[in-house]
Chain A
């Protein structure tokens, strides 16, 4: 397996001020007793990128984020935020990072405005800039009008998430980590959060973990998939699709002889074959799936042209089947035993 856009780092990299990645993990490992939550994790996230961080439950996403946020100490390896090592300079790293934890803990007794002002002071925003920064964050998160003076405990789940995001972006940090920001939200609220993340594109680096894969596919520049604490895939959705699904599939509804079709296919392209054929419906149309090599972009047109030339055959539907992030995720986590980075032996 190869990496397309997020190459695993084979050796420690000394960051230069010019090309400092926003996030960098080098051989990051976290053990809880005999359990390895994160194992030899290597990745970089460049400045301004929005990266989806995916993995099944217990894969190590939250652990990785908490290590970057300075809430957990890694057992071994190094984590850098804007080139600053989190382990040896946690306060400096925290000044460059906004973190929205999975549970989005907020004090129920405080008002939204009051809470954000308190957090702004705690994040060392200069006094004269606090009002403006709080207003900007509230405006971005849609909290400016209705919820400004509401008590946090009375807010809906969606608005609580907005307060959490407003807190994360308040100090205008270089990096924002969001652990499941859309968990428990309704589709409209999810759309609002997606718009909000989109509005941060190019200004801030965002690492976002979520189980809603359509969400990640829609708003992230690329994705990283971890399984059992190890990075198993990284890259753009298109690259991962090519990597995990090297053969292209087409779905068609055809009235014709499937046996004749099967004989016709090798003539169109070597390696093209019929994989599924359903029984014909009342009109005589059967649903058929074809599979062929992905290297020829014109293959779809060639198939269609060959079908149309055949006398007596009728095509009602013809479409290329594109595996979504969900299929890629399942394929990547299924192959979790083949990580991008070689496993580290216990006890070193």
Chain B
């Protein structure tokens, strides 16, 4: 893994000079700002049982659906299309090092985008009139739990984006593939919780989707109840997905 730090620094630099990165960042912050404003507005106008941050994190999937594909779709697809991945593979750097560097760079950027939203409660406290310092906006348990969930789930979501990018040379197709995988993974969990299923095969599918328990985990985390099991679940699935990505790239590069 001696080339990993160099490749990671290169990938971070490439993200920093890419216009798409800034587009994704601006879109993400605008959307998250809007969601936060609507949550605050709703919390102010009616009596809500959940703290505002818990409600805010319930909608985490909306930015995930577009930010993850935007951040990852170019990573391998574009490099394969231009042949720069091939040029990289003619050096002693290994496929795993290259994939890990791309994954880590995208993940770090994803986490830094979410980290920027940490400012929202403080911005609300400073700029909105009549908000008290002891208001539930700065509920530490809720904030820490929510961001821990985002960090843990992000491991898998970014890995899926990288996998989608390895399957095609077309960035648009990679983006759509990434969106579809994330949609199935997240929304199936959501639907299975809110729909009563009768058919036997659907019940089996529901059992498989329930295994991830995305929304149940999110609910617990955003109320400040942190369990270690989801970390292992997301980390093990991430390793699996990155392993598959490495195999895909190696098989395509040497076929």
- A binding-site residues for B, Cβ under 8 Å: 32, 69-73, 91, 94-95, 97, 99, 101, 103, 105-107, 109, 118-119, 121-124, 167
Number of interface residues of B (CB under 8 A): 22
Q: Are B83 and A105 in contact (CB under 8 A)?
A: yes
Least CB separation from B87: chain A residue: A105
Inter-chain contact B92/A123, CB cutoff 8 Å: yes
Which of B14, B90, B93 is within 8 Å of A109, CB to CB?
B14
Instruction: Determine if B198 is an interface residue (Cβ-Cβ < 8 Å).
Output: no
Q: A91-B92, A122-B92 are in contact. List 5 more A-B contacts (CB 8 A).
A: A71-B254, A101-B87, A105-B87, A106-B84, A122-B7
Q: List 21 A-B contacts (CB under 8 A).
A: A32-B255, A71-B90, A71-B253, A91-B94, A94-B90, A94-B91, A95-B92, A97-B90, A99-B90, A101-B86, A101-B90, A103-B83, A105-B83, A106-B84, A106-B87, A118-B6, A119-B91, A121-B6, A122-B3, A122-B91, A124-B92
Complex-state Cα separation, A71 to B94, whole angstroms: 12
Q: Is the CB of B84 within 8 A of A107?
A: yes
**Contact of A71 (CB < 8 Å), options: B18, B84, B86, B92:** B86
**Nearest Cβ on chain A to B244's Cβ, whole angstroms:** 19
Cβ–Cβ contact B86 & A72, under 8 A: no
Q: How distant is the Cα of A112 from the Cα of B82 in the complex, in angstroms?
A: 17
Q: Is B91 in contact with A123, judged by CB distance below 8 angstroms?
A: yes
Complex CA–CA separation, A99 to B87 (angstroms): 8
Interface status of B17 (Cβ within 8 A of chain A):
yes
Q: Which residue of B lies closest to A94 (CB)?
A: B92
- Give me the interface of B with A, judged by CB distance under 8 Å: 3, 6-7, 10, 14, 17-18, 82-84, 86-94, 253-255
Q: How far is the CA of A123 from the CA of B7 in the complex (A)?
A: 12
Check if A109 sits within 8 Å of B91, measured CB to CB.
no
Interface centre among B84, B86, B89, B92, by most chain A C-beta atoms within 10 angstroms, is B92
Find the residue from B6, B87, B89 having the highest chain A CB count within 10 A.
B87
Asked if B83 and A109 make an inter-chain contact with CB atoms under 8 angstroms apart, the answer reads: no
Which of A70, A95, A107 is close to B89, meaning CB atoms less than 8 Å apart? A70
Q: How far is the CB of A75 from chain B (nearest CB, A)?
A: 11
Which chain B residue has the least Cβ–Cβ distance from A72? B254
- Could you tell me the distance between the alpha carbons of A74 and B9 in the complex, rounded to whole angstroms? 34
Which residues from B are CB-within-8-Å of A106? 84, 87
Take A122-B91, A122-B93, A124-B92 as given contacts and tell me if A105 and B10 are in contact as well, using a CB distance cutoff of 8 Å.
Answer: no
* Contact status B90-A70, CB under 8 Å: yes
User: Contact at A105–B92, with CB atoms within 8 Å?
Assistant: no
Give the residues in chain B near A95, CB-CB below 8 Å: 92
Contact B254 A105, beta carbon cutoff 8 Å: no
Bound together, the chains give a CA A101 to CA B84 distance in angstroms of 10
Between B3, B14, B93, B254, the greatest number of chain A beta carbons within 10 A of the residue's beta carbon is seen for B254
Query: A69 touches which one: B82, B83, B90 (CB < 8 A)?
Result: B90
What distance in Å separates the Cβ of B255 from its nearest Cβ neighbour in chain A?
8
Q: Are B6's CB and A122's CB within 8 A?
A: yes
Residues on B with C-beta less than 8 A from A69 are 90
Check if A107 sits within 8 Å of B14, measured CB to CB. Answer: yes
**Cα–Cα distance between A2 and B84 once the two chains are bound (Å):** 40
Residues in B with CB closer than 8 Å to A107 are 14, 82, 84
> Which chain B residue shows the least CB distance to A164?
B87
Query: Residue of B at shortest CB range from A168?
Result: B90
Q: Are A105 and B86 in contact (CB under 8 A)?
A: yes
Minimum CB distance partner of B80 in chain A = A105
CB of B55, distance to nearest CB on chain A (Å): 40
Q: How far is the CA of A72 from the CA of B251 in the complex (A)?
A: 9
Residue of A nearest to B19 (CB): A109
Shortest beta-carbon distance from A233 to chain B in Å: 28
For residue A251, give the distance in angstroms from its CB to the closest CB of chain B. Answer: 46
Q: Cβ of B254: which chain A residues have Cβ within 8 Å of it?
A: 71-73
CB pair A109–B87 under 8 Å, yes or no, is no
CA distance A71 to B87 in the complex (A): 9
- Rounded to whole Å, the gap between the CB of B98 and the closest CB of chain A is 10
- Is A109 within 8 A of B84, CB to CB? no
Contacts of B92 in A (CB 8 A): 91, 94-95, 122-124
Asked if B10 contacts A118 (CB within 8 A), the reply is: yes
Docked complex Cα distance between A94 and B253 (Å): 15
* Cα distance A312–B87 in the bound complex, in angstroms: 69
Closest-CB distance, B188 to chain A (whole angstroms): 37
Residue of A nearest to B92 (CB): A91
Complex CA distance for A239 and B255, rounded to whole angstroms:
37
- From residue B132, how far is it (CB to closest CB) to chain A in Å? 48
Q: Which residues of B contact A123 (CB under 8 A)?
A: 91-92
Complex Cα distance A200/B105, Å?
A: 38
User: What is the minimal beta-carbon distance from A253 to any residue of chain B, in angstroms?
Assistant: 53
A323 to chain B, nearest CB (A): 37
Provide the residues of chain A in CB contact with B82, threshold 8 Å.
105, 107
Residue of A nearest to B17 (CB): A109
**Closest Cβ of chain B: how far from A244's Cβ, in Å?**
35
A76 to B91, CA, bound (A): 23
Closest CB-CB distance, B254 to chain A, in whole Å? 5
Q: Inside 8 A of A118's CB, which chain B residues have their CB?
A: 6, 10
> Which residues of B have CB within 8 Å of A70?
89-90
Q: Write the nearest CB–CB distance from A79 to chain B, whole angstroms.
A: 13
For A119, list chain B residues within 8 Å (CB).
91
Contact A101/B253 with A94-B92, A123-B92 known, Cβ cut-off 8 Å: no
- Most chain A CB within a 10 A radius of its CB, from B82, B91, B255: B91
